[in-house]
Structure 1
Amino acid sequence: MSSRPAPSPTSAPQGALRERKRVRTRRAIRKAAYELFDQYGYEATRVDQIAEVAEVSASTVFRYFPTKEDIVLAGEENPVLEAALRARPEHETPLAALRGALHEAMRTEYATPEARDEVFRRMRLISSVPTLRSRLPETMALTSDYLARALADRTGHPPDGLELRVFVGAVVGGYREAMLYWSDQGMHEDLKDVIDRALDVLENDLAV
């Protein structure tokens, strides 16, 4: 009876290697973009300049970010947020589960000084550049899709049903406004506290 040869321990799966390369390239493009935005301003910075500093081609930039706006707006937090929501205890209400998932996603995404600095730079740009601010609702519609999928499995409501769409829309809208408020106020408050205040409004109406 023949046995199958054991895989070489030194050869990493190609999929994992490609994903690490993809993450490195995205980070290099975004880092180059923020450096140029700081130096020349968002509007004056061209994609070919970003590509040159990131040491990639302009076509590579567009492959990862279809528009210049996407370099700022396209975050990595949606899969993290969905996973955190799916991991919440079953007894929690949908709003309590979402609150806990947002806290966990923030701890994961903003765990290092570099990551926190990127959040500050990103929100400063979104707050101050009209084209970015106007596209934020469109970008956060993708967040709604991730949350609706997880909540549909959790609650039994269809992901495209009215009740779930209204609930997710309210939460994501509150989250968006909390981020913009935090940025507009100079980002001095703890972001977690600002998001909690937004969710408290949904939970308690405007009661004081």
Structure 2
Amino acid sequence: MAGLRERKKAQTRAELQRHALRLFRAQGYAATTVDQIASAADVSRATFFRYFPSKEDVVLYDDIDPVMVEAFAAQPEGAPLLSSMRRALRDAFDQLEPEKRALEEVRMQLGRTVPELRNAIRERNQFSVEQIAATVAATTGRAPTDLDVTLFAGILVGVRLAAQALADQHPDRPYVDIMDTVFARLEQGVPLADEPIRRVAP
């Protein structure tokens, strides 16, 4: 269990992100300054930079993934791996308070639509594969470097990328619902993988 100091730091970081996302939603990412975020959170500019190296990092900071890891660890033994991942996603988001869930939608939308944020997220996907592989390995008893474990972790990163693309096509749908749809489709298999190539006349 985290100590009091760690809990206070986590609370301050969460409050800074909450105020930042509120401002981003109200006036846009580019128009919002670090000074405005610090003022809204009633902290100094120096305090802001103790928690986030830049404004960009406020959006990149993800405190939902650890909740998903815990939700995944709580899935019953013997449950199929992919179905457990899908349920863990739902369980994690169901635990969020309404405002936190709404602001998480804002955070994910910014990650899809602001070029510098989108590029930064893509650069971090390699780390996501390694992190997911470690979680899958611990759950299945396989090595993190096992080909199937690495492949499965890459598929899960692909699920996120596919969900982001679908979210751009359907901006009114909650991101978690889109993720659930992609997981459900993957559970059924991907028939397109066996689709024969057809030469289409120009």
TM-score (norm. length: structure 1): 0.78
2:48 aligns to what? 61
1:196 aligns to what? 180
Write out the 4+ residue segments of structure 1 that deviate beyond 4 Å after TM superposition. Answer: 139-143
1:6 aligns to what? none
Shift of 1:129: 1.1
2:118 aligns to what? 133
**For the Cα contact (< 8 Å) 2:71–2:88, is it kept in 1?**
yes
1:150 to 108, 127, 135: 135
Shift of 1:40: 4.2
Shift of 1:19: 3.0
What one-letter code is carried by the residue in structure 1 that aligns with 2:141? G
SS at match of 1:66: coil
In structure 2, relative to structure 1, the CA distance for the partners of 1:136 and 1:23 (3 Å cut) is same
What one-letter code is carried by the residue in structure 1 that aligns with 2:9? R
In structure 2, relative to structure 1, the CA distance for the partners of 1:99 and 1:167 (3 Å cut) is same
What one-letter code is carried by the residue in structure 2 that aligns with 1:81? M
SS at match of 2:191: coil
Show CA shifts across 1:58-93 (max 9, x none): 332223222221101211012211111122122122
Structural mapping, 1:12-161, within 5 Å = 16-108=3-95, 111-161=96-146
**Which structure 1 residue ranges, 5 or more long, are not aligned?**
1-12
Task: Indicate the structure (1 or 2) with the bigger Cα radius of gyration.
Answer: 1
TM-score (norm. length: structure 2): 0.80
1:169 aligns to what? 154
In structure 2, relative to structure 1, the CA distance for the partners of 1:205 and 1:38 (3 Å cut) is closer
SS at match of 2:3: helix
**For the Cα contact (< 8 Å) 1:32–1:53, is it kept in 2?**
yes
Shift of 1:140: 4.8
Shift of 1:21: 1.6
